[in-house]
């Protein structure tokens, strides 16, 4: 996971929770049970891409090798195994376009 993005998410979570808990209506009545937010990563100069991969003749060894490589790559944020048209969805984030 991108360290900058992870730090920002943690900071925003703490700030939102602090503000919600400090507000008397929300703190006492527990109206808000949870929330989600979306960061505008373009304003942070973070480039995002999603790859859809269709893999052919994949052996267990080659799948393990690919997984190991992706886990070591810091720009890869999420990996999803899918059923359907694609085998893998890979989300990538980087501060420079040439790293993607």
DSSP sequence for 79-96: EEE-SSS-SEEEEEEESS
Q: Is the pLDDT of residue 46 over 90?
A: no
| Average pLDDT of the residues in 35-48 | 79
Q: Is the pLDDT of residue 6 over 70?
A: no
For position 76, what pLDDT does the model report?
92
Q: Is the pLDDT of residue 68 over 50?
A: yes
For position 3, what pLDDT does the model report?
44
Half-sphere exposure of 10 (CA within 13 A, CB side): 7
Tokens of 13: 């979570």
Are 22 and 63 in contact, with CB atoms under 8 Å apart?
no
The pLDDT confidence band at residue 30, using thresholds 50, 70 and 90, is: low
């Amino acid at each position: 996971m991108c360290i900058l993005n992870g730090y920002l998410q943690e900071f925003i979570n703490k700030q939102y929770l602090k503000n919600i808990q400090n507000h008397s209506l929300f703190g006492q009545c527990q109206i808000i049970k949870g929330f989600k937010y979306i960061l505008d990563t373009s304003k942070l100069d973070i480039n995002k891409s999603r790859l859809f991969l269709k893999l052919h003749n994949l052996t267990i060894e080659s799948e393990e090798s690919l997984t190991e490589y992706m886990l070591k790559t810091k720009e890869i944020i999420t990996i999803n195994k899918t059923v359907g048209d694609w085998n893998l969805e890979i989300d990538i984030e980087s501060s420079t376009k040439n790293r993607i």
